């Protein structure tokens, strides 16, 4: 019975639990076994987390292209080893004034290089960086390219900067706060982090943990629409060809009549059939539903 469930859970993760704690809670509440995530949040952080269910666990890669928006709170004048509130204070400095912060914050907009924090899940020679950091070993972390679409100050009071940032996947907001402080000749660490959106999945529409149920599962068709993946309905004849991985291009199905992008097909009774790459009119299967009972 569990194999029939596919879709998305959009959940507001509270602070002090991990994304994997959230997955275990969903399994316990719903009995669904096939679950994945579309990107983790640090335990200290809160906000929207997308849990993928059933067939939708296979579209994880599509979330890596979506921008993410965060609201962050950074305290200037102190720095912790983890760059967040869970670490111990290892350095202090005079906090900057707001004019200094304003002068430097715009330099983060656009495409920049960022070095992940030592306390991160990045692999270094097969070992998680945070495992090395906990042993007092400084991990050799390479810079990577990220994009900051926008970064705006909400307020600066009592040395705490409240700011909002929209960025590419893989951006470490802890490192943004740390690097900004360095540009201001100071130090800083995050006291709070809230993820407000992942693409079209908004925190305002996310459910709380106590609302998790099979009824709160977002159906594949609705979730793919949120991801801006066009959805098309196949008649029984075409659906039979799709489920068996056969070529569907014929007199009635012409690739040039469909968007030049990744698209999806569903049966007439709204069951997910396949994800198809139609860029350059290829109409090539990315993956086909493994559920043969949908026809």
**pLDDT score, position 2:** 41
For the cut 90, the answer to whether the pLDDT of residue 9 exceeds it is yes
Length of the chain, in residues: 295
Predicted TM-score of the model (pTM): 0.92
Give domain limits for the chain.
2-65+200-219, 68-194, 229-294
**pLDDT score, position 149:** 98
For the cut 80, the answer to whether the pLDDT of residue 189 exceeds it is yes
Give which of 169, 81, 87 is closest to 118, Cα–Cα. Answer: 81
Average pLDDT, the chain: 92
- Residue 285: φ, ψ to 5°: -65, 130
* 18, 75, 78, 102 from 97: Cα distances, Å: 35, 12, 15, 9
The CATH number of the structural domain formed by 229-294 is 2.30.130
User: Per the CATH hierarchy, to which homologous superfamily does domain 2-65+200-219 belong?
Assistant: Pseudouridine synthase (3.30.2350.10)
User: Per the CATH hierarchy, to which homologous superfamily does domain 68-194 belong?
Assistant: Pseudouridine synthase (3.30.2350.10)
Same fold, 2-65+200-219 and 68-194: yes
Q: Count the Cβ atoms, other than its own, within 10 Å of residue 1.
A: 6
pLDDT level of residue 1 (50, 70, 90 thresholds):
very low
Q: Annotated catalytic residue: which of 16, 42, 179, 260? A: 42
Element (H, E) at 37: strand 35-37
Asked if 161 contacts 78 with a C-beta cutoff of 8 angstroms, the reply is: no
237 is known as an active-site residue: no
For the cut 80, the answer to whether the pLDDT of residue 124 exceeds it is no
For the cut 80, the answer to whether the pLDDT of residue 168 exceeds it is yes
């Amino acid at each position: 019975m569990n194999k029939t469930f596919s879709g998305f859970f959009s959940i507001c993760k509270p602070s002090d639990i991990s994304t994997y704690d959230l997955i275990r809670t969903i399994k316990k509440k719903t009995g669904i076994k096939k679950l994945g995530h579309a990107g983790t949040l640090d335990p200290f952080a809160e906000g929207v987390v997308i849990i993928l269910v059933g067939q939708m666990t296979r579209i994880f890669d599509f979330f890596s292209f979506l921008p993410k928006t965060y609201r962050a709170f950074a305290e200037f004048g102190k720095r912790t080893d983890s760059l967040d509130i869970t670490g111990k204070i290892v350095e202090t400095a005079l906090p900057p004034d707001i004019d200094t912060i304003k002068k430097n914050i715009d330099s983060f907009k656009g495409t920049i290089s960022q070095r992940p924090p030592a306390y991160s899940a990045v692999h270094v020679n097969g070992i998680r960086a945070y495992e090395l950091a906990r042993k007092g070993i400084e991990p050799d972390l390479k810079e990577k390219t990220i994009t900051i679409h926008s970064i705006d100050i909400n307020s600066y009071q009592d040395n705490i900067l409240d700011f909002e940032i929209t960025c590419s996947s893989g951006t470490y907001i802890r490192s943004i706060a740390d690097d900004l402080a360095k540009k201001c000749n100071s130090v800083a660490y995050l006291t709070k982090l809230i993820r407000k959106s992942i693409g079209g999945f908004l925190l305002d529409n996310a459910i709380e943990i106590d609302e998790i149920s099979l009824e709160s599962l977002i159906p594949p068709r609705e979730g793919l629409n949120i991801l801006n993946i066009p959805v098309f309905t196949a008649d029984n004849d075409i659906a039979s060809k799709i489920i068996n991985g056969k070529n569907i291009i014929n007199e009635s199905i012409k690739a040039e009549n469909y968007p030049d992008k990744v698209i999806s097909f569903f049966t007439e009774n709204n069951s997910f059939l396949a994800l198809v790459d139609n860029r350059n009119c290829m109409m090539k299967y990315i993956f086909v539903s493994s559920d043969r009972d949908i026809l």
